[in-house]
Structure 1
């Protein structure tokens, strides 16, 4: 609790974009996670704080000790999403209600829970138990979603969170949030990566002028996921294929062909190509 108080009272604001999960102990990381929910106004009672702590501990245990797809990766994505939300809040006002915020944070934390360390293509080709259970579409994402939702039910987290914005009836909130969490986790499948980025670029091109086309929570989740998962196509400006900088969206280049869900796929370019200069 002392760690939670420390982060909530000021340390959280000082972490910034340079935050690194490697700089903190496990207890401090769990304190940080609780502070994120407190800062967004989602935890209002001691009971909900305790249940959320138990849930986070269970998520920690549910991750395998993989080099990359481990609990620290989940925390890293969760913190970056929180930072993004804080920045967007300051610049543009409230974009999401509290139910959406809760769903996004939970999905970010648990989006790779139970990941065995080998990707979807391996599960399909080797016909592993994951493939037998979930089929060939978003194999591991489906597994992570199932595990996450089971843990939410087991610890009763959604029944105790506070939702000051939007409907407060638990019976209405719980199924809605569960569905959004599941959708958010499934959308972290890299098969959907470039399609979702294209939609984000299209929205920024319109400069969010149409109030009837708000940013969807899963699209926001895609931004934070893209920046942490794809360092080959985001932020690159080299070569004639460099993407045009669009406000609020990372620079994107045309990706190489990728193997997706057991088949070869060539995604479309996700930003307009920079115009070539004529030779003098």
Structure 2
């Protein structure tokens, strides 16, 4: 039997953990404890407050410590291919986290805390190969999220929170019992990412002469198929004094008069 390994799995000491820290090409400190037969999360590593990245993938960890959120220096956390059944609420305290991989575990929707929505800086989240059928509605607050893995789960419909994630550009929903195809999802993301012009109803009395002229030119240009008349009417021509009063006449959005800002 290998040294340090018994019925409770490999025991990781603080000394072992410190020796396993390496500097990445980006200048970050990464602690790699992958494929070591670890069953119990080594709480001693929470003392390593200078670690930016933690790789505990391909072990047999069943539970994360309730105070995992105290590992506040983490930017990158990889826990894929373990035996996790839930994630503690304190995960939401990892404010600097940008990448989280908890795929290929035993997670159910009940095991995902609402505090996942507190990870405001999260860019990549992998939840694939679990037993999920819904996501916490709080995830709609993940404004920075760009990539989301939901493959090989139990989703029968697209989680509503995805519609609120405006920076999300890649979602993998393959091998779920969905009525949608992956192409449908990709199309939804493409449509959502297309910029939409905001227009407002503003009374002409609240515009200076130059701003009114510009709005009129833009309306005529759209009606004429993009052909512009008159002068340039750029932002530099706007009257600063009148700009402050632009929205006094605001009534409803999406009208035919363009906004002045």
Q: Is the structural similarity TM-score above 0.5?
A: no
Q: What TM-score, normalized by structure 2, do the two folds share?
A: 0.23
